[in-house]
Amino acid sequence: MFLKRSMVVLAWLFANFLFAQTGTTFPVDNAVWTVGYVGFGGPITFEKFCITGDTLIKSKTYKKIQHFRFTDSMIYDIKQMPPIRDDGQKWYISIPDSANEQVLYDFTAKRNDTITTFCYMGLAQNLMPAKVVVDSIDSIFIYNTYRKRWVVNSLGGIKDIWVEGIGSLNGLFYPAESSFDNDHFLLCFWEEDTLLYNIANSYPGYETMCDNAPITALPTITATAKFSIYPNPANDWYVLDMSGLKRSKYPYSFITFDALGRKVSQIRNIQIGINRFETDGLAPGYYFYHIVSNGEIFQSGKFAVQ
């Protein structure tokens, strides 16, 4: 009888150790999430979410989050994301024009609980409400400590993993991706100059993308330095001014992707200088582009069609 009770006590102690909350609080300053995206067969793109200080909203302190996309030579699409705060159990976001803050992560959720959260819809650049159901809860060993882990399913049947103190392993603002936009992955996570999570070695050639450099330390190349597109937004036609690009042994191509990351057009053999094209086949909306030569991306950006 004593042995049986001892085993029960040991099992209870182990369970409490295994599920002990070691990092539910939101990271302090100097935290960086690096995310990769490989949607719909397009090229891999990268983005970072960085804490940039505090802000006070309705007497509550939030962490400001800056987002930008980048390559090994440039940064672009810089914006402020909704700020985040935590109360030790949940992470909340303050959405502009919303009367109340919204739940981004619920670290009190139990198995079979349904959670309403918000998910950044990737290249569409919209924060949309979404629901997930907790499938299972266990723990994961990350950087010398156990952290609680939730496996959740979106209503589209896509599995995701939440880790306390880090968020989704799809990326900070991707806690509930749908079947239409589910190709984000957390490449690495830094906090206070410590690399706590890193899978960059699984993607040869992308190890250099996984640093914690602030945005001011990254090289910036503006579109006018090499290339420009105008008018932007365009109506019936647009101009590609490639006067600033160097002549290459290989021809340039102009590849266009829609807001969901799907390739919608590719214009080959672009000439150095001024090129004028019609917008036929491009529906009104936002588009992203790459200037490519021999598989190398020389310039990236976005434009709109009215």
Residue 271, helix vs strand vs coil: coil
* Same domain assignment for residues 240 and 137: no
* Same domain assignment for residues 184 and 280: no
297: left (phi over 0), alpha (psi -120 to 50) or beta: beta
The count of other CB atoms within 10 Å of the CB of residue 49 is: 23
Is 108 in contact with 165 (CB distance < 8 Å)?
no
Place of tokens 């590609």: 240
* Same domain assignment for residues 33 and 107: yes
* Same domain assignment for residues 31 and 86: yes
What pLDDT is stored for residue 122 in this prediction?
53
Winning range, highest mean pLDDT, from 82-91, 119-128, 204-213: 82-91
* Same domain assignment for residues 249 and 198: no
Q: What is the CATH number of the domain that holds 233?
A: 2.60.40.3080
pLDDT in tens, 164-200: 999 999 999 999 876 555 578 899 999 988 999 998 7
* Same domain assignment for residues 151 and 253: no
* Same domain assignment for residues 108 and 146: yes
Domain boundary among 198, 217, 236: 217
What is the count of structural domains for the chain? 2
Q: Which domain holds residue 59?
A: 2-217
* Same domain assignment for residues 58 and 183: yes
* Same domain assignment for residues 181 and 255: no
Which strands sit side by side in the sheet containing 237-241, from one edge to the other?
Answer: 228-230, 237-241, 274-278
* Same domain assignment for residues 124 and 32: yes
* Same domain assignment for residues 209 and 271: no
Domain boundary among 217, 242, 268: 217
Return the higher-pLDDT residue of 11 and 67: 67
* Same domain assignment for residues 285 and 188: no
Put simply, whether the predicted model's pTM sits higher than 0.85 gets the answer no
What pLDDT is stored for residue 226 in this prediction?
59
What pLDDT is stored for residue 142 in this prediction?
86
Average pLDDT rounded to a whole number, residues 207-235? 62
Domain boundary among 184, 201, 217: 217
Binned at pLDDT 50, 70 and 90, residue 128 comes out as: confident
What pLDDT is stored for residue 259 in this prediction?
61
pLDDT in tens, 88-121: 899 999 988 778 899 999 999 999 999 999 888 7
- Average pLDDT of the chain to the nearest whole number: 78
Winning range, highest mean pLDDT, from 40-49, 81-90, 124-133: 81-90
Instruction: Assess whether pLDDT exceeds 70 at residue 236.
Output: yes
Q: DSSP secondary-structure letter at 234? A: B
Omega prior to 129 cis, within 30 of 0: no
